[in-house]
Amino acid sequence: METERSAEIIISGETYLLTLTTRATKEIAKRYGGLENLGEKLLKAENFELALDEVVWLITLLVNQGILINNLKHKEAPRELLTEEEVELLTSPLELASYKEAITEAMFKGTKRNIVSEEENSKKA
């Protein structure tokens, strides 16, 4: 499993990877106006049901990125994508809340930059 840029969650006993890809970033930007607005939108959702809808959408999006990557690399054994309805049926609100840390980890890993200082560059030269 590709955990260098993903975070693991377990849904109904099965492990899934939450992966922030360029495609997912574009979908988040369409929905929220950019990654920087995501947290604010989730926290300021008008009601509990809307907040749950947004978390389910985000989890489904990020889980499906991992499945799509798997399917690209393993064309002989593709996995089915999850639907928002399946995520709703296979999770509880408490579990959704516990996935917050994994979502944050996936976002961090997906946007982290490897910064090399000028001093390190000159040592390599």
Among 13-22, 48-57, 99-108, 115-124, name the one with the lowest average pLDDT: 115-124
110 within 8 A of 69, measured Cβ to Cβ: no
Tokens 């889980």 belong to 63
The closest alpha carbon to 49, from 11, 88, 103, 82, belongs to 88
Whole-structure pTM value: 0.79
Asked if the model's pLDDT at residue 40 lies above 70, the reply is: no
Please report which helix (H) or strand (E) contains residue 23, including its range: helix 22-32
pLDDT of residue 43: 58
Q: Please, are residues 109 and 6 in contact by the beta-carbon 8 Å criterion?
A: yes
Higher pLDDT, 111 or 48: 111
**C-alpha neighbours within 13 Å on the C-beta side of residue 48:** 4
Q: Would you state the pLDDT for residue 12?
A: 94
Give the tens place of pLDDT for each residue, 71-120. Answer: 999 999 999 999 999 999 999 988 888 888 888 888 888 876 544 445 55
| Mean per-residue pLDDT, 37-47 | 63
d(CA 38, CA 17): 19
